[in-house]
Structure 1
Amino acid sequence: MPHHTDLIAALAIGLTLAFFGGLLATRLRLPPLVGYLLAGIVVGPFTPGFVADAAIAAQLSEIGVMLLMFGVGLHFSISDLLAVRRIAVPGALLRIVMITVLSTVVSQWWGWTVGQGIILGLALSVASTVVLLRALEERGTLDTSNGKIAVGWLVVEDLVMVLALVMLPALAPLLGSNEGGPLDLGALGIALLLTLGKMILFVAVMMIVGRRLIPWVLARVARIGSRELFTLAVLGTALGIAYAAGALFDVSFALGAFLAGVVASESKFSQQVAEDALPFQDAFAVLFFVSVGMLFNPAILLQAPLLVLAIALIIIVAKTLVAFFTMRVLKASFSTALTVAISLAQIGEFSFILATLGRDLDLLSAQGQNLILAGAIVSIIVNPFLFRLIPIIEAWQQRRVPQTVVQDLTQGGLSGLSQHAVLVGYGRVGRLILQTLQENHVPFVVIESDERRIEELRTLKLLVVYGDAARAEVLSRAGIREAGVVIIATPDGPQSQLILEQVREMNPTVHVTARTHDEHTQQALRNLGANDVLYGEYELGLAMGNYVLAALRSPAVSAAPPSQKQPAS
């Protein structure tokens, strides 16, 4: 093959094999990312057949990293992070520290240096953005409180890893000080201060100049009306700023792309920016995972199976347990702690980036990099199966903990209630419904599984049953057979369907009102027998239309001068 076709070959063969690998993984109910990694293994130097140019693949993967980080910055929301800061911030920081310490200690038994153990620990402590978001979207839990905590936790981890990518080159002499000549602490301190100074200067330039200039440029380009020029402006912003960060400020391309996304998100065209960047981000992210697969030597599975098993146990078991117990200490409910812990029980993009940087800085051996890649593949494959364990574990926990009425104002318990309302879920929507029921003196019982909300309801002296409303015994304690109406206020689509099935089995005639975020779940709930299914955007559109009609009929609008009235249609 002529040398000048290496780039074409890398793109064509890499994307084609990634497509078939992703398709096969999807058929096997695995994340497509597994297929992309396997495609990289196929075209890598450790398997027979075609071998892609590693140098070209590495550069293409660098573009993938830039666009991935641009996307992370574009969706980074300080307000969302602040909303879950009580759990996400201390939880993420504590888990990073504990997993890094655990990995460092374990690696000492293998004869590794402390520097290698720290790189390993950092790589194993951070979860995959792609895997987590896809898993939450597939289960319809991205917009739930559990989903927001998981995403907030992930954002904190990502921010720590971005900082680690910037600091590691300066700290490399200290982490690898057992090799080479004596360590010059003075030179190390100067290098560290210089790196921090450059990073702070770059962040200041982006926050002061960039957050004004970039939205202004995007707005001007948008007014031209050319879709292709706007797309070029988006790509130029992402890649140009990332390159400038490395060339002018000597900081990582990842940090440059991340901050470019953060400042671009402040533009009123941020949604359009995300839509235009997404196809390129997806394509080059695929090439990134393919290039990572090329680095993996499958022989590690035979050469060091016990080390691979140890890495997998740290990712799947240790990370899950640390996250779970940390969240329980921070007063999260059992269900929230379990869901978030399992969501984060895998590793991905940042782990690969850290492993590659560790190799470049001679802080990680080839074996260490292969172990990280093997752990990523194993954890990503196992993660969907862990999600299937959540209902089983919750059911066991609810059998262990008595599902009794927490507060009962009547001497006879719930036996005296009939034609009452059963409210499932005491979130933002549930609170508003509860206020309406109270104002109209409608008797009701709340079913809730979040222990913090249970405590709040207890202080309000309200009837509440703790447990999963999809379970017959929980519904029975809420008096479902005597109820006049059931309100399913939980935003979790699959959970709402399970609840409705159980409600209809126990009381076929009760009136059921439910909520949903999408038309697919709306139709599914109707098919299961819900009387009313309120679809948020649809109801909002109807309400706004009614407000507009009321405004147009008001005397103030009718008396307005003709020039201010809408022309007749």
Structure 2
Amino acid sequence: MPHDVELIILLAVGFGVALIFGYIAARLRLPPLIGYLIAGIIISPNTPGVVGDLHLANQLAELGVMFLMFGVGMHFSLKDLMQVRRIALPGAILQISVATLLGIGISMLWGWSFGSALVFGLSLSCASTVVLLKALGDRGLLNSVNGKIAVGWLLVEDLVMVLVLVLLPAMAVLLGGQALSSGAENENIWLTLGITLLKVAGFIAFMLIIGKRLVPMIMQVVARLGSRELFTLTVVAAAVSIAFGAYKVFGVSMALGAFFAGMVVKESDFSQRAEAETLPLREIFSILFFVSVGMLFDPRILIEQPIHVLGTVAIIMIGKTIAAMALVLFFRYPINTALTVGASLAQIGEFSFILATLGVSLQLLSLEGQNLILAGALISITLNSFIFSAVEPIQNWIRNRSHLARLLERSGDPLAMLPDAVSQDYLRDQVVIVGHGEVGRRITKTLMEKDIKVVIAEENREIVENLREKDIAAVCGLATEPSVLIQAHIQHARLLVLSPMDILDIHKIVDIAKTLNPQIQVLVCAESKAEAEVIRKDNIGEVYFAKEEMAKNMTNHILHQIEVAHHQSSSH
């Protein structure tokens, strides 16, 4: 085979086979990345048939890692994380610790060294953001409280893994591996670690002080030219050059450089356009990354070491899930939140692959360990959609055994009841607002300015705690549960206001409210025109749809302006 066409052959065969198996995976309602991994296995040296160039595949995988990390940086939202920080931050750190310890424990029983066991355990502790976002999106849960907690949890996991990727090369020799740079073996390990941390701190400071201003400024200058391809090139050049500069100038990983490149691009006024323009390129390189990961996998491990594979899958799908659910329930969140977060974390993905590849290059992790991680990822991602499908039946089964539900949810939660300071006089003719998102916040603020009594029913505990700190009456829980509306004293309320939510939940809440208070008036904020029409047909209350109300307000403003202009011209 002529050397100069190996890249073309790899791309042609890799993309062709990835397309076929990605399509099959999508038809089976599985994440397409399962198909990409299988495509890599088929063209790998470990299976018969067409063999792709592994060296070239690894170089393309490096680009894939950079663009994956760039995408993670662009999706990283400090605002989203802050909304759920009290559960996501301690929860994710404790869950990573539990999963890592389980991984260390089982692999040391197999006779592995501590260094190998640590990399193995860390690889099993982090779930795939790609798989999670797809699973939540397919079920319409991305903007729900449970979805935000799961995404916030994964953001913390991503940050921890970024830190691990930075520190692992510096710690490699201490853990029994080999340093990436020659001569580093003879250096003092703590000096190496200190220098690494200083370099990372220097790079972060540079990005936050200079990069945060320079990159958006360059994007703005290029955007004014109106050239789409130049704008796309600017974003790609920023991602690749910052990643390379981080490695060359500061000596930190290209993955960290790409992550911060994504973060500074997100700070730009053109972040949405940048995300849309670079999405196809990022997806192409992500596919190459998953194909190259598949090429590293040796399927013989499934036959030769089935017990090890089962142990790995058990940690990912049972150990991590139970630990996460226990932590969510400990923080007094409801069963459905615990089940959703548990299902979200019952898989591993891209960070696990990146960490495993780094572990092998540092001679910390054996090829057997890498194969076990890849097998665990393939099996857990394939089964993840079935776990999500089981959330509702399991929740219903627990709810039907109320003693078990009370035990799990630890009844007596102070946030599930209104404070004693809220007088009985206050709880008459009040407005009950379900949900304290953008719509709920605006309505609450306006009503309170007019001295109209308000009670908020909200799922997010942190929001309820913040409201109570401001002396606003609020109760925590799902409004589809009668106890929550009873606590909000719906039986004495004048109005029920529902923020945008699932139409089935709207029906449940209104049914409960009208059973407890047949005279109550209901106002519903619909998410779409179709939803607004369905609610109107069901005649459950007044319906408001954002675009419709905006059009009415703008029309009234236009008519008012025309009337004023007409009046002025006639007076002259």
User: TM-score band, normalised by the shorter chain?
Assistant: 0.7 to 0.9
Partner of 2:340: 339
Partner of 1:86: 86
Structure 2: state its 5+ residue gaps.
421-427
Partner of 2:361: 360
Amino acid across the alignment from 1:13? V
The alignment status of 1:64 with 2:59, answered yes or no, reads no
Cα deviation for residue 207 of structure 1 reads: 1.4
Cα deviation for residue 260 of structure 1 reads: 0.8
Amino acid across the alignment from 1:210? G
Which stretch of structure 1 is more off in the superposition, 60-69 or 454-463? Answer: 454-463
Partner of 2:303: 302
Q: What is the CA–CA distance in structure 2 between the aligned matches of 1:450 and 1:241, rounded to whole Å?
A: 38
SS of 1:396's partner is helix
Assess, with a 3 A threshold, how the Cα gap between structure 1 residues 131 and 442 changes in structure 2: closer, same or farther. same
Following superposition of structure 1 onto structure 2, how do residues 144-293 of structure 1 map, counting pairs within 5 Å? 144-176=144-176, 187-293=188-294
Partner of 1:566: none
Assess, with a 3 A threshold, how the Cα gap between structure 1 residues 294 and 533 changes in structure 2: closer, same or farther. farther
Q: What is the CA–CA distance in structure 2 between the aligned matches of 1:263 and 1:457, rounded to whole Å?
A: 32
SS of 1:362's partner is coil
Partner of 1:109: 109
Cα deviation for residue 191 of structure 1 reads: 1.4
Assess, with a 3 A threshold, how the Cα gap between structure 1 residues 426 and 203 changes in structure 2: closer, same or farther. closer
Q: What is the CA–CA distance in structure 2 between the aligned matches of 1:54 and 1:177, rounded to whole Å?
A: 23
Which stretch of structure 1 is more off in the superposition, 98-107 or 451-460? Answer: 451-460
Contact 1:128-1:349 at 8 Å conserved across structures: yes
SS of 1:176's partner is coil
Partner of 2:122: 122
Following superposition of structure 1 onto structure 2, how do residues 170-569 of structure 1 map, counting pairs within 5 Å? 170-176=170-176, 187-399=188-400, 400=402, 401=405, 425=435, 429=439, 469=480, 488-489=498-499, 491-492=501-502, 495-496=505-506, 514-518=524-528, 534-540=544-550, 542-543=552-553, 546-547=556-557, 550=560
Cα deviation for residue 277 of structure 1 reads: 1.2
Assess, with a 3 A threshold, how the Cα gap between structure 1 residues 523 and 58 changes in structure 2: closer, same or farther. farther
Contact 1:63-1:284 at 8 Å conserved across structures: yes
Which stretch of structure 1 is more off in the superposition, 14-23 or 185-194? Answer: 185-194
Which stretch of structure 1 is more off in the superposition, 186-195 or 280-289? Answer: 186-195
Q: What is the CA–CA distance in structure 1 between the aligned matches of 2:158 and 2:57, rounded to whole Å?
A: 24
Amino acid across the alignment from 2:201? I
Cα deviation for residue 227 of structure 1 reads: 0.8
Partner of 1:414: none
Assess, with a 3 A threshold, how the Cα gap between structure 1 residues 105 and 163 changes in structure 2: closer, same or farther. same
SS of 1:174's partner is coil
Deviations 1:31-62, CA, capped at 9 Å, x for gaps: 11111111111111122211111111111121
Cα deviation for residue 349 of structure 1 reads: 0.5
SS of 1:246's partner is helix
Amino acid across the alignment from 1:18? A
SS of 1:297's partner is coil
Deviations 1:446-492, CA, capped at 9 Å, x for gaps: 987677889999999999897673x89999999999x9997653534
Contact 1:37-1:290 at 8 Å conserved across structures: yes
Assess, with a 3 A threshold, how the Cα gap between structure 1 residues 341 and 421 changes in structure 2: closer, same or farther. same
Q: What is the CA–CA distance in structure 2 between the aligned matches of 1:377 and 1:291, rounded to whole Å?
A: 14
Partner of 1:33: 33
Amino acid across the alignment from 1:31? P
Cα deviation for residue 250 of structure 1 reads: 1.7
Partner of 2:424: none
Q: What is the CA–CA distance in structure 2 between the aligned matches of 1:23 and 1:175, rounded to whole Å?
A: 42
Which stretch of structure 1 is more off in the superposition, 425-434 or 215-224? Answer: 425-434
Assess, with a 3 A threshold, how the Cα gap between structure 1 residues 268 and 435 changes in structure 2: closer, same or farther. closer
Q: What is the CA–CA distance in structure 2 between the aligned matches of 1:47 and 1:20, rounded to whole Å?
A: 18
Partner of 1:22: 22
Aligned-residue identity in percent: 46
Q: What is the CA–CA distance in structure 1 between the aligned matches of 2:12 and 2:177, rounded to whole Å?
A: 43
Amino acid across the alignment from 1:14? G
Cα deviation for residue 2 of structure 1 reads: 2.6
RMSD: 4.2
Assess, with a 3 A threshold, how the Cα gap between structure 1 residues 91 and 479 changes in structure 2: closer, same or farther. closer
Deviations 1:201-255, CA, capped at 9 Å, x for gaps: 1112211211111111111111111111111111100111111111222211110
Cα deviation for residue 77 of structure 1 reads: 2.1
Q: What is the CA–CA distance in structure 2 between the aligned matches of 1:152 and 1:225, rounded to whole Å?
A: 36
Q: What is the CA–CA distance in structure 2 between the aligned matches of 1:393 and 1:531, rounded to whole Å?
A: 32
Assess, with a 3 A threshold, how the Cα gap between structure 1 residues 224 and 432 changes in structure 2: closer, same or farther. closer
Contact 1:457-1:464 at 8 Å conserved across structures: no
Deviations 1:498-549, CA, capped at 9 Å, x for gaps: 87899999x9x99975444455655676787766654445544544554565
Q: What is the CA–CA distance in structure 2 between the aligned matches of 1:428 and 1:359, rounded to whole Å?
A: 47
Q: What is the CA–CA distance in structure 2 between the aligned matches of 1:78 and 1:452, rounded to whole Å?
A: 16
Q: What is the CA–CA distance in structure 2 between the aligned matches of 1:362 and 1:473, rounded to whole Å?
A: 57
Cα deviation for residue 131 of structure 1 reads: 0.6
Q: What is the CA–CA distance in structure 2 between the aligned matches of 1:281 and 1:493, rounded to whole Å?
A: 35
TM-score (normalizing by structure 1):
0.82
Corresponding residue pairs, total: 547
Contact 2:464-2:474 at 8 Å conserved across structures: no
Partner of 2:423: none
Contact 2:500-2:527 at 8 Å conserved across structures: no
Q: What is the CA–CA distance in structure 1 between the aligned matches of 2:499 and 2:432, rounded to whole Å?
A: 10
Amino acid across the alignment from 2:40? G
Structure 1: state its 5+ residue gaps.
410-416, 560-569
Assess, with a 3 A threshold, how the Cα gap between structure 1 residues 427 and 299 changes in structure 2: closer, same or farther. same
Deviations 1:328-376, CA, capped at 9 Å, x for gaps: 2223333222212221221111000000001111111111101101111
Contact 1:511-1:530 at 8 Å conserved across structures: no
Cα deviation for residue 21 of structure 1 reads: 1.3
Contact 1:497-1:524 at 8 Å conserved across structures: no
SS of 1:175's partner is coil
The alignment status of 1:73 with 2:68, answered yes or no, reads no
Deviations 1:401-458, CA, capped at 9 Å, x for gaps: 479997899xxxxxxx9x9999765666457668999999999999876778899999
Assess, with a 3 A threshold, how the Cα gap between structure 1 residues 464 and 350 changes in structure 2: closer, same or farther. closer
Partner of 1:53: 53
Amino acid across the alignment from 2:12? A
Amino acid across the alignment from 1:299? R
SS of 2:348's partner is coil
Contact 1:407-1:458 at 8 Å conserved across structures: no
Contact 1:504-1:529 at 8 Å conserved across structures: no
SS of 1:249's partner is coil
Q: What is the CA–CA distance in structure 2 between the aligned matches of 1:297 and 1:523, rounded to whole Å?
A: 55
Contact 1:424-1:490 at 8 Å conserved across structures: no
